[in-house]
Amino acid sequence: MPRRPPNQEERGNYDDLAALLPIFGAVLLTPAIANLFHTGTSLFGLPLDMLYVFAVWILLIAGAWWLSRRLPQITPPDDPSQDLKVPPELPSADSRSE
Amino acid sequence: MLSLDYVILIAMAYIGLLFLIAYTSDAFAHHRIGRFLHSPMVYTLSIAVYCTSWTFYGAVGTAARSGLEFTAIYIGPTLVFVGWWFLLRKLLIISHSQRITSVADFLSSRFGKSSQLAILVTIIAVVSVTPYIALQLKAITSSIQAVTVSREGAGNLGSFDELTLALGVAVCMALFTILFGTRHVDAREQHPGVVAAIAFEATVKLFALLAVGIFVVYGLGGGMGEVYRKAAEAGLEIYEKSPFGSRWVALLVLSASAVICLPRQFQITIVENSDENFLRTAGWAFPAYLLLMSIFTAPIALYGLATMPAGSNPDMYVLTLPMAAGWEGLALFAFIGGFSSATSMIIVASIALSIMVSNHIVLPLVLRGSRGAEVGSDRDIARLLLRSRRFSIAALVSLGFIYFWLTKDSDALAPIGLISFAGVAQFLPAVLAALYWRSANLEGAFWGMLVGFLVWAWTMFLPSFETSSPWVASVMEHGPWGIAALRPQSLFGMTGVDPLVHAVFWSLLANCSIFAVVSVSTSQGALERIQSTLFVDVFRRSTSFQPQTIRGSATTSELFFVAERVLGWQRANDLFDAAGVSRSGSARLDVPPEFIAELEKELAGAIGSASAHILLTSVVAGDAISLEEAMRIADETQQAIEYSHELERTSQELRVTAQQLQEANAKLQELHRQKDDFLAHVSHEIRTPMTSIRSFSEILLTEQDLPEEQARRFISTIHTESVRLTKLIEEILDLSALEQGEREWVNQSIDGEEVLGDAIVVCEALARKREVAIEMGPRARYAPIFANAGRLSQVYINIIANAISHNEAQQPRVHITSWLADGHYIVEISDNGQGIPEPYRKTIFDKFVRAGRSDLEGGYVGLGLGLNIAHTIVDKLGGTLELTRGHLPGACFRVTLPLDHSARTAVEKAS
């Protein structure tokens, strides 16, 4: 499925999200927060602490999957096309084809 | 019970399958077919070499012993891969552009292509990883024992013992690795056959573990919740035993750094990667793989603890649970899964380490010994490399085997995985600094890493021998020479901390702080500075930039000789041809420095950057890189950024200028049109009187016998028309003077009322002649304004005269009134005539606009310039002239002028 290429602003947002995702993951898994779920209770017969760790884990994977479809292609610096920046007001060929 | 021969046969058959997969994949890759091998999924699966037998079997053991801790080993890598866009992407792009061959090469290249750093990294890697290889051998033999032990517990190893088994496995692995890992020295150390086999093994171990998990949880246990309920009934603690604490954090940090710094992970993730965009998939798929690997770990452990007899080894639950249930086929599958994890780790780790050993230890020694002067045959360096790699692989696997042999009776192998992680974690500060810290330098990296490594060896590696060495035990008890502050597990009196946390804390603290302090207090060499710019600013670098780190001259034949020794005749020839460098010339100064840089890069792909640099500098005579060049490169980045900003700004300015030009052009055209209109009007106005003057004068000239009275009338008409023409031209001149800006226009403080009174007096004569009554409405007594009295009077006279002469009412009247309001002086002049017809109300102040009919009685007809002139004058005085509705039914003009401020305040004060 062809996806609309993100514009400059969106791209910046995705860049930031890509940095925030692992940081949020790390923060959620610090003892300070993880221990809030160390209650000795269970949910659906499973310990809450384990469910919490796995839930964060799944969220991280889902977030990475979501971002992987939106972050721009990786272009090695040898690729000359990277330097030819299209001015933002000119619609790119891709967005016109939709 | 499975027979030992049968299990060994299956294992051998499995290794045979791996050979086949590796062989066909290599063949496919060679012929550039088999696109599926070159896919993000294969890449992701090959990264799963992270899951060794330590995680395959050991995770269940860890879960049984210390609960959720096992997930930390997987979550660390998850955080790194989820954040691929920042760290791994940069690492990958740099490594590809610099043709990096290993983690040692990466660090040495970044810190000035230093050989000593590469050697240190290689030694740390070998010391940390060799025990890890032993751990895999241990896991294989234990698992063979586990599946062949009968339920009664009697061992059935028959003629084989543990050592023979381990030796057999080690030999097979070394053979496989040598066959597929050292086929040739490549420009980019890539081994498609090995990668395909590793990816296959990753699939096998995932399905094996999932099969066992599903069987135990849903076949035996009756569902997730049920497993936990039964475990709770059996008196087990199903909740986390102790809260998440410092050990949890230490494990997260260690596993996150391991997935970057472990030589085998670097080899697979960075060196074997053939397309940067595969990371996009690996970023979420590898964490998902890890999640699947661990989803059944805790239930298997709890079920095993609840049902297996006391004293059974929880590390082997994955095998023993299906065995105990009589599912030997499943147990065999699980065994193959564990076998896969172990073999894939041994293969990739020994390839990665052998590349490091041969490139960074063997080759520099040989090059230094021979000074590159000996005459060698085609590819002799390449052959030397291959030979040393094969030897290294054999040596590394033997080392692993010897380690295993020495420690086979102790359980010291169990925590070896974490010891290994903590060892390679000493690379992490340098790797991160290599990517993000421009002024980090070689001295800092070297000393930080060395001290970190020593602290690690003291606090973590040494204690692992506690059970096998009384000396170590005594050192741990009392400290060396009785110095209690240096006890390995309680440095400087830090007691009561988990030994792992203790070791990680002290080693990384020492590493980072020495690295930072030394880096800040010493300076970078020229080559280091270049390399740091290339690494840190990899995304900003301009494309055409090629650092020339070797300057000087060399004969092409010497260069070709070097290239041929490493790359082979064919590749070297292609390279020289592509660059257009002729090989026949033996004169110096033949070779452009760009080509030497290109050649160095190409060689670095095969033998590592430090060795390539040594090799070329031994051939190329000339000075080393100058500091000026280093500075130029550092500046280049900055310039590129500034240039781009400049461009953006300039194009913005251009756009604005173009816009302004367009507007100015439109205005000019409008003015041009107005001028044309004006000329047309003027010509028209002049033609009418001119025509009558001409025709009447012609009549007078030709008709001699014209009656006197008629002749007089004709002459009078000619006179009237000439007056009209003069009037017209005067008005045009007046207008033009106004529009050009009159020179003698001087404003003075005057009384507006006085000017209005004078104007009325002037018009009274005309009013009497026309029998128009001028009525006075209420008047302001005194109106101080700042204006030109003559011009203002002209305005009033013009309006009043218009009101008089265009009034066709029965009893014509003109009404004049004035007042002060809101700091303005307002005069209204209205009449009871026809008024201005609706269509003209908007344009009455334009040039040549005449409202109403032409004067049939031949009286004075306005030219249509008077009101325009009045309007222009009022404008100039800062006031307004407008058409409103006033006292009388006809037209009403209102002149509004601002009062003179200074005079007004004076008036107010006076009153």
Degrees to nearest 5, angle at CA A19 with A16 and A24: 115
Q: Are B108 and B117 in contact (CB under 8 A)?
A: yes
Using CA atoms, how far residue B675 sits from B381, B669, B682, B719, in Å, is: 88, 10, 10, 30
Which of B71, B75, B224 comes nearest A45 by C-beta? B224
pLDDT, mean of residues B349-372: 79
| Residues within 8 A of A (CB atoms), B 284-303 only | 284, 287-288, 291, 295, 298
Q: Are B463 and B546 in contact (CB under 8 A)?
A: no
Residues of B in contact with A71 (CB under 8 A): 85, 280
Which of A31, A57, A74 comes nearest B248 by C-beta? A31
Helix (H) or strand (E) holding B198: helix B192-214
pLDDT number for residue A40: 73
What percentage of chain B carries pLDDT values higher than 90? 9
Least confident of B180-189, B456-465, B876-885: B180-189
What is the tens place of the pLDDT at every residue in A14-40? 788 888 888 888 888 888 888 877 777
What is the tens place of the pLDDT at every residue in A36-93? 777 777 777 778 888 888 899 999 999 888 888 887 777 655 543 333 333 333 333 3
What is the tens place of the pLDDT at every residue in B3-40? 777 888 888 888 888 888 888 887 777 776 666 677 88
pLDDT number for residue B850: 66
pLDDT, mean of residues B579-608: 68
Which pLDDT band, with edges at 50, 70 and 90, does B514 fall under? very high
CA distance A3 to A26: 30
Q: CB pairs below 8 Å between A and B: how many?
A: 130
pLDDT number for residue B513: 93
* Contact check, Cβ <8 Å, A54/B295: yes
pLDDT, mean of residues B716-740: 84
pTM score of the predicted model: 0.66
DSSP symbol at A91: P
**Smallest Cα–Cα separation from B800: which of B834, B777, B774?**
B774
What is the tens place of the pLDDT at every residue in B251-266? 899 999 999 989 999 9
pLDDT number for residue B634: 54
CA distance A15 to B823: 61
Which pLDDT band, with edges at 50, 70 and 90, does B414 fall under? low
Higher per-residue pLDDT: B516 or B461? B516
* Residue from A68, A73, A82, A85 to probe the interface with B (highest B Cβ count within 10 Å): A68
**Smallest Cα–Cα separation from B391: which of B420, B349, B354, B363?**
B354
Which pLDDT band, with edges at 50, 70 and 90, does B853 fall under? very low
Check whether B412 has a pLDDT greater than 60: no
CA distance B504 to B689: 110
In terms of CA atoms, which chain B residue is nearest residue A45?
A: B225
Taking the alpha carbons at both ends of chain A, their separation in whole angstroms is 12
CA distance B27 to B21: 10
pLDDT number for residue B663: 93
**Smallest Cα–Cα separation from B607: which of B880, B259, B358, B829?**
B358
Q: What is the mean pLDDT of chain B?
A: 80
Which of B284, B295, B538 comes nearest A65 by C-beta? B284
pLDDT number for residue B159: 45
In terms of CA atoms, which chain A residue is nearest residue B248?
A: A31
- Identity of the amino acid at B415: P
* Contact check, Cβ <8 Å, B538/A15: no
How crowded is the C-beta side of A96, counted as CA atoms within 13 Å? Answer: 5
Which pLDDT band, with edges at 50, 70 and 90, does B507 fall under? very high
Which of A18, A57, A68 comes nearest B75 by C-beta? A57
Check whether B629 has a pLDDT greater than 70: no
Check whether B827 has a pLDDT greater than 50: yes
pLDDT, mean of residues B153-173: 67
Check whether B371 has a pLDDT greater than 70: no
Which pLDDT band, with edges at 50, 70 and 90, does A97 fall under? very low
| Residues within 8 A of A (CB atoms), B 882-911 only | none
pLDDT number for residue B905: 61
pLDDT number for residue A35: 80
Higher per-residue pLDDT: B238 or B426? B426
In three-state form (DSSP H/G/I as H, E/B as E, the rest C), the secondary structure along B117-156 is HHHHHHHHHHHHHHHHHHHHHHHHHHHHHHHHCCCCCCCC
Residues of B in contact with A67 (CB under 8 A): 85, 283
Q: Are B121 and B427 in contact (CB under 8 A)?
A: yes
CA distance B284 to A65: 5
pLDDT number for residue B669: 92
Higher per-residue pLDDT: B318 or B378? B318
Check whether B723 has a pLDDT greater than 50: yes
Nearest chain A Cα distance for residue B112, angstroms? 21
Higher per-residue pLDDT: B386 or B744? B386
Least confident of B277-291, B426-440, B824-838: B824-838
| Residues within 8 A of A (CB atoms), B 258-277 only | 276-277
pLDDT number for residue B854: 45
